């Protein structure tokens, strides 16, 4: 049997971008700035704290941070050839662990186009796990000799301090708390939306 000669297409990809964003000193500066921001405990049984989701509106420091995120969002939009007028952050908040069993259940972010996570402090056990949004793939799941982002139903990107992860807001993701020491985990999350005019026939939209 002759060797398979083929082209391989990655169809309908769920793209996650993972890139350097802040240096070590900047990470620590923003961690210190969070000390002056009021924290809320949304659910007492969950060992983490959250700030207001309007962090980007508090002062010039956080506005500048938000603007830097938008710069990265625009780079991703250019990479995907997205036509738009501009992007803006609708929400921005910090997640701060308050115990080594910190977790964040599987969820997605409604009413926005891109979401991003900036990793200020943590360790290798504190990564974000993304999940295949296609339920059809679970009808039959064979074993693989190597599991990776192509054949797996979930994939964890590494936790690297100072990095940013940018992904489509509808992509399900979570943080595991099982046997992980997440006691130092601090992240900033942003939801980003765009101003644009969509001219597809019978699907016109201006936002």
Q: What is the pLDDT of residues 167-204, one digit of tens each?
A: 999 999 998 866 556 778 899 999 999 999 999 888 89
CB 169 within 8 A of CB 109: yes
pLDDT computed for residue 45 by the predictor: 52
Q: Is 48 exposed, middle or buried (0-12, 13-18, 19+ CB in 10 A)?
A: buried
Of the candidates 166, 191, 161, the one whose C-alpha atom is nearest the C-alpha of residue 66 is 191
Integer Cα distance of 201 and 151 in angstroms: 35
In the block, tokens 């009413």 appear at 111
CA-to-CA dists, residue 65 to 9, 93, 118, 127, 204, angstroms:
37, 11, 10, 22, 33
Domain enclosing residue 101, as ranges = 17-132+152-206
Per-residue pLDDT for 148 more than 90?
no
Q: What is the pLDDT of residues 10-38, one digit of tens each?
A: 888 899 999 999 999 999 999 999 998 97
Q: Which pTM was predicted?
A: 0.90
Q: Is residue 144 part of a domain?
A: no
Query: Considering the chain, what percentage of its residues have pLDDT values greater than 70?
Result: 92
Q: Is residue 28 part of a domain?
A: yes
Total domains present in the chain = 1
Q: Is residue 183 part of a domain?
A: yes
Q: Is residue 187 part of a domain?
A: yes
pLDDT computed for residue 46 by the predictor: 59
> Of residues 95 and 181, which shows the higher confidence score?
95
């Amino acid at each position: 049997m002759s060797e398979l000669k083929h082209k391989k297409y990655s169809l309908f990809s769920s793209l996650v971008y993972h890139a350097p964003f802040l240096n070590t000193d900047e990470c620590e500066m923003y961690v210190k700035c969070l000390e002056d921001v009021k924290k809320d405990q949304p659910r007492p049984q969950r060992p983490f704290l959250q700030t207001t989701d309007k962090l980007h509106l508090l002062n010039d420091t956080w506005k500048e941070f938000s603007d830097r995120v938008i710069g990265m969002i625009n780079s991703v939009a250019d990479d995907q050839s997205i036509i738009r007028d501009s992007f803006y952050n609708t929400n921005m908040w910090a997640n701060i662990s308050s115990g080594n069993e910190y977790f964040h259940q599987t969820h997605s972010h409604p009413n926005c186009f891109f979401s991003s996570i900036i990793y200020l402090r943590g360790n290798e056990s504190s990564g974000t796990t993304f999940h295949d949004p296609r339920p059809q793939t679970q009808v039959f799941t064979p074993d693989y000799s190597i599991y990776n982002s192509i054949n797996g139903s979930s994939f964890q990107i590494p936790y690297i301090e100072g990095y940013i992860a940018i992904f489509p807001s509808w992509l399900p993701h979570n943080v595991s708390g099982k046997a992980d020491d997440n006691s130092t985990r601090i992240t900033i999350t942003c939801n980003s939306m765009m101003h644009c005019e969509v001219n597809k026939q019978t699907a016109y939209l201006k936002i």
